[in-house]
Amino acid sequence: GRKVLIVYAHQEPKSLNGSLKSIAVEELSKQGCNVTVSDLYAMQFEPRATRNDIVGCLHNSEEFNYGVETWEAYKRGGLSRDLVEEQKKVQEADLLIFQFPLYWFSMPAIMKGWMDRVLVQGFAHEFPNCYDSGLLKDKLALFSFTTGGSREMYAKGGISGDIRYLLWPMQHGIMHFCGVKVLAPHICFAPEYVSEEKRKEMLTAWAQRLKTLWNEEPINCSPEWYFK
């Protein structure tokens, strides 16, 4: 069966994000997938990229450079245990689902910290092996998130601008940079401001999409998709 890693960032299991995560686990498990969840808040995942991420001696003890040190540590098997565990989950996964509420036009800090710390050079990318030749090129990713603003606010002419602009740094700058192919995002607009019935419809739509997810083609990972 296929393997799925859900990286989940929400403090409340009863939230819509919590329900979306649970539906993904249930539906994909039904399909025979092996589903793993990294529940970042429950794990008390450390979002800060620090010296603690390197076990043992530094490559250059005179001047600390996080990118260089984690690259060197990765090569010699000297990354901290929490990073090694997350990298193993990523390595084994065919699909990565990121489930989160949109904070300030981006992902929550705890999830950004996961990206900063887990996707180190040597593991996820190694110039010139980036974008289409990134080291995670056999994987798929999907960003599933909720917004505070309405669909109209995130339309091209809306006050917040086209939602695709916000996806550029997340989908293109992180995932595509590491070679991952990206499926169309799944967005639940303003769940706090709609009826209970509408929220149920959002959950049903997600369950339906998951049934045929493996038949989907990745988006065209080019600037045109985001900015046309």
Of 77-81, 90-94, 125-129, minimum mean pLDDT range: 125-129
Measured CA to CA, the distance from residue 192 to residue 212 in angstroms comes to 28
Measured CA to CA, the distance from residue 9 to residue 110 in angstroms comes to 7
Per-residue pLDDT of 30-42, as tens digits, reads 999 999 999 999 9
- Token pair, residue 88, equals 């193993």
CB neighbour burial string for 39-75, b if at least 16 within 10 angstroms, e if fewer: bbeeeebbbeeeeebbeeebbeeeeeeeeebbbbbbe
- Architecture of the domain defined by 3-227: 3-Layer(aba) Sandwich (3.40)
Domain boundaries, the chain: 3-227
Q: What is the pTM of this model?
A: 0.97
Per-residue pLDDT of 171-186, as tens digits, reads 999 999 999 999 999 9
Measured CA to CA, the distance from residue 6 to residue 8 in angstroms comes to 6
